[in-house]
Amino acid sequence: MRQDILSRLGEHGDRPAIIQDGRELTYAELVEAVRGLLAELPSRGVRPHDVVVLRGDFSFDAVALLLALHCNRNVIAPVVTLSELARAALDECCAPDHIIDCAGAVTYERPERPTHTTRGADGGRSPLLEKLRGEDAAGLVLLSSGSTGKPKAILHNLDRIVEAKLDKRGKGKLSIVLFLLFDHVGGINTLLNTLFVGSASVVLRERTPEEVCSLVERYRVRVLPTTPTFLNLILMGGFAARHDLSSLKLITYGTEPMPESLLARVRGAFPTAKLLQTFGTSETGISSTVSASSQSTYFKIEDAHFDHRIVDGELQLRSRTQFLGYLNQQANNLTDDGWFRTGDLVESGEGGFLRVKGRATEVINVGGEKVLPLEVESLLLTSALIEDCVVYGEPNAITGQHVCVDVKVRGAMSKADVRAHIQEFLGEKLDAFKIPSRIKLVDAVGRSERFKKKRLSL
């Protein structure tokens, strides 16, 4: 199967595979680089089934190494930033054999074995890693963001993920920006989809609205996978008006819910592009979806590799690309019959369409009444005075929690004026307990490195 992959990629010949720093590197060059690495890895001591940390973001070298390590049947842990937290989590759960740094010139490192790891003195590994070895399969380790504590180490059978993409075919006329990170399930999904249809992947130097829009204009990019938060940054900065983005035929958005009011603004800024909501998790992979329309936040999962169901308002998934488990904790979010509890609250529409209402962990409980932050945010974003906002809950001695909002306003307004405006603007639209009682003026709404709103209580 692995050699078949290289043959498949080789069919694309002189089509551009990776566009990086003004250079167009072809599929023929990519396949040649992968074959060269496969010959080099043994001399570097990289044996099949070794655990390899691949540090860096998307680049020609990183993509070639990912493919070569897959063909070499390694367990690959892509990490854009090897922070102390990430390094400690990887040392503890899988004791990496190698660290390959491809952020600049490619370097190889053999890390010292940590004093306490899951690998014993006899070299024994986690049962999940041993399961992969027994199947002679390559593996993929994805770390959760770790924003609330130790990252979860999510182990996948990489062969299954790749096999699920092999039936994709295309004419290679598309160009796609690799916006989602190299260590993100959506980033890996975008890369594999693009490679197997023979399209060109455009690599970013930095993830800013100016850089993204400049490259879309320069290379006539047709597909932009991104997040609602980043789309809002493009609109707020006026980048869609300053650049010719008419080449975009498809904008996909995911990783967080899309407010209906923001979707309407995006539609107005990109009238000729189709807007498609994607859905997936690091544990199950990304499913194929269709949106009810470019104006709708309702979507449907249409993927032969995915099943879904709704239990008590929560979306649950079961997929062919489902993770094997966590290397550093129990998989308590799996049901007894093997369904993954996503934590996303959804409602059903006609024809099997779904709409994400928010995360179960983000529901604000005000004296027993439930508040979904997305509902409040979507309404606030329709105000001509509010440019951006994020709603969250904080403890309250009387009601248990109360609704809070960080607001970026247009122009200069005092806190008292903003409070009065929000009270009046929402007064006829929401129940009183849903209206924010704490308002904070900010210069910018907090976001993660993955361009998702930070909604944690302070």
Residues 6 or more apart in contact with residue 162 via CB below 8 angstroms: 1, 5, 70, 192
**Taking the model in full, what pTM does it have?**
0.91
Query: Do the domain assignments include residue 373?
Result: yes
122 pLDDT band, cuts 50/70/90, is: very low
3-state secondary structure of 271: coil
Domain CATH code at residue 383: 3.30.300.30
Tokens 């005092």: give the residue.
414
Domain CATH code at residue 57: 3.40.50.980
Query: Do the domain assignments include residue 170?
Result: no
Query: Do the domain assignments include residue 339?
Result: no
Domain closes at, from 114, 146, 163: 163
Query: Do the domain assignments include residue 346?
Result: no
**Separation CA 45–CA 50 (nearest Å):** 9
Q: What is the DSSP letter of 184?
A: S
The reported pLDDT for the residue numbered 456 is 63
**Separation CA 250–CA 18 (nearest Å):** 19
The reported pLDDT for the residue numbered 1 is 59
Query: Do the domain assignments include residue 40?
Result: yes
The reported pLDDT for the residue numbered 147 is 46
Q: Distance of CA 387 to CAs 233, 259, 381, 408, Å?
A: 10, 13, 7, 6
190 pLDDT band, cuts 50/70/90, is: very high
The percent of residues above 70 in pLDDT, for the chain, comes to 94
121 pLDDT band, cuts 50/70/90, is: very low
**What does the mean pLDDT of the chain come to?**
92
Higher pLDDT, 145 or 361: 361
Mean pLDDT for 371-391 is 94
Domain closes at, from 132, 148, 163: 163
The reported pLDDT for the residue numbered 172 is 64
Query: Do the domain assignments include residue 90?
Result: yes
Domain closes at, from 147, 163, 179: 163
DSSP, residue by residue, 86-146: HHHHHHHHH--SEEEE-SSS-EEE-PPPPSS-SS-TT----HHHHHHHHTT--EEEEE---
Mean pLDDT for 387-400 is 92
Tens digits of per-residue pLDDT, 93-102? 999 999 999 9
Angle at 111 between CA 107 and CA 116, to 5 degrees: 160
116 pLDDT band, cuts 50/70/90, is: very low
The reported pLDDT for the residue numbered 455 is 77
124 pLDDT band, cuts 50/70/90, is: low
Query: Do the domain assignments include residue 392?
Result: yes
* Residue 407 confidence (pLDDT) above 90: yes
* Residue 152 confidence (pLDDT) above 70: yes
449 pLDDT band, cuts 50/70/90, is: confident
The number of domains in the chain is: 2
Structural domain containing residue 406:
363-441
Q: What is the DSSP letter of 181?
A: -
* Residue 288 confidence (pLDDT) above 60: yes
Query: Do the domain assignments include residue 451?
Result: no
31 pLDDT band, cuts 50/70/90, is: very high
Residue 180 burial by Cβ neighbours in a 10 Å radius (0-12, 13-18, 19+):
buried
2 pLDDT band, cuts 50/70/90, is: low
Tens digits of per-residue pLDDT, 246-286? 999 999 999 899 999 999 999 999 999 999 999 999 999 99
The percent of residues above 90 in pLDDT, for the chain, comes to 83
Mean pLDDT for 16-45 is 96
113 pLDDT band, cuts 50/70/90, is: low
The reported pLDDT for the residue numbered 166 is 80
